[in-house]
């Protein structure tokens, strides 16, 4: 019997021990190479694009010879204005990709010895960078679509006479959302957070090629898909898979996301559910890559992503 890839040594190509053993200089060199891959880590001015600069080694900064602008390796990226050491940021990324179903911000803050607020913002910045990789992508080939409800749990009253019918609209909390996901077989997963699963039809028109073959369950709102696509349907009350159609791969994504939300984070605000959904999609799509390659991929996405308008100065805006 062959060994599963994730259980093999090939899946473990980077560890926290290796990161901290390499030290700050080695981590800094990795940040430089992934920020400026075209010049093999040689600084490029983010303002004028000049490749000639002075290195201020005492402060890990550069001064452009052309426009005299001072910048660092993280200037203009999602890590702009960072105070955390490069080894700690690299370790945080390693911990994040090693956790197949996510890691709570409280646990991350304990692992790298930082404040909860720091771990919270850092984690969301990484999720924003991961989501950017598939932004604007159009899926083709065979695409599965489904929706799943998240949040909105209503705790029942202690005494039976005080309990209400939690299914009724007047007793809802207003925090329940639907994650509609499109999963391309042997391809990418695109998740969207909406209020109704029926909104998935409009999303399909925007993000799925009309040449694709769609697979959906027997929910009536998916009937509209037949007007634009070749569609395979599966009735889950009779079977979960048939030779003609199934939605098992998109259900696998929802399985990961549910365990991430309920098992690791316990509560996710509907305001930020889209970022957790994007992280679960990225992890699902890259699940057969060695963890060292995953760390490099996440860091490369973060260094290519501009300053986050949502997360820069987040806690200052909350006070």
**What mean pLDDT comes out for the span 47-56?**
92
Residue-averaged pLDDT of the chain = 94
HSE-CB at 131 with a 13 A cutoff on CA atoms is 20
pLDDT of residue 248: 96
Convert the pLDDT of each residue in 90-143 to its tens digit. Answer: 999 999 999 999 999 999 999 999 999 999 999 999 999 999 999 989 999 999
* Residue 55 φ/ψ, nearest 5 degrees: -100, 125
Give the strands of the sheet with 142-150, arranged side by side: 189-194, 177-184, 142-150, 213-217, 230-234
Contacts of 157 (CB under 8 A, 6+ apart): 163, 164
Does 198 score more than 80 pLDDT?
A: yes
Categorize the per-residue pLDDT at 33 as very low, low, confident or very high, splitting at 50, 70 and 90: very high
Cβ(90)–Cβ(30) below 8 Å: yes
Convert the pLDDT of each residue in 113-126 to its tens digit. Answer: 999 999 999 999 99
Contacts of 81 (CB under 8 A, 6+ apart): 74, 312
Categorize the per-residue pLDDT at 153 as very low, low, confident or very high, splitting at 50, 70 and 90: confident
pLDDT of residue 166: 83
pLDDT of residue 66: 92
| Alpha helices (runs of H) in 36-173, residue ranges in sequence order | 86-98, 105-111, 116-132
pLDDT of residue 155: 87
**What mean pLDDT comes out for the span 171-186?**
93
Q: Is the dihedral of CA 51, 52, 53, 57 positive or negative?
A: positive
Cβ(203)–Cβ(195) below 8 Å: no
pLDDT of residue 108: 97
Around Cβ 266, how many Cβ atoms within 10 Å? 8
Does 2 score more than 80 pLDDT?
A: no
pLDDT of residue 57: 83
Using CA atoms, how far residue 65 sits from 59, 68, 69, 197, 259, in Å, is 17, 5, 8, 55, 51
Convert the pLDDT of each residue in 210-266 to its tens digit. Answer: 999 999 999 999 999 999 899 999 999 999 999 899 999 999 999 999 999 999 999
């Amino acid at each position: 019997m062959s060994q599963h890839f994730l259980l093999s040594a090939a899946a473990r190509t980077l560890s926290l021990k290796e990161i901290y053993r390499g030290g700050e200089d080695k981590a800094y060199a990795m940040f430089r190479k992934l920020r400026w891959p075209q010049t093999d880590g040689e600084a490029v001015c983010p303002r004028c694009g000049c490749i000639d600069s002075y290195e201020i080694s005492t402060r890990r900064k550069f001064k452009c010879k052309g426009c005299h602008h001072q910048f660092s390796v993280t200037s203009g990226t999602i890590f702009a204005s960072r105070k955390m050491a490069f080894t700690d940021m690299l370790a945080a990324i390693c911990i994040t990709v090693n956790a197949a179903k996510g890691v709570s911000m409280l646990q991350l803050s304990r692992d790298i010895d930082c404040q909860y607020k720091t771990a919270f913002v850092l984690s969301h910045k990484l999720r924003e960078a991961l989501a950017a990789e598939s932004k604007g992508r159009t899926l083709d080939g065979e695409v599965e679509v489904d929706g799943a409800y998240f949040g909105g749990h209503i705790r029942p009253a202690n005494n039976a006479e005080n309990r209400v019918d939690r299914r009724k609209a007047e007793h809802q909390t207003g925090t329940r959302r639907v994650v509609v996901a499109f999963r391309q077989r042997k391809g990418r997963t695109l998740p969207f957070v909406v209020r109704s699963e029926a909104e998935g039809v409009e999303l399909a028109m925007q993000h799925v090629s009309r040449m694709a073959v769609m697979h959906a369950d027997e929910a009536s709102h998916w009937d509209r898909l037949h007007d634009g696509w070749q569609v395979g349907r599966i009735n889950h009350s009779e079977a979960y898979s048939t030779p003609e159609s199934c939605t098992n791969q998109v259900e696998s994504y929802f399985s990961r996301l549910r365990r991430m939300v309920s098992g690791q984070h316990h509560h996710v605000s509907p305001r930020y559910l889209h970022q957790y959904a994007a992280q679960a999609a990225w992890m699902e799509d890259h699940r057969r890559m060695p963890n060292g390659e995953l760390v490099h991929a996440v860091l490369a996405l973060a260094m290519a992503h501009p300053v986050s308008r949502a997360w820069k100065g987040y806690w200052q805006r909350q006070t």
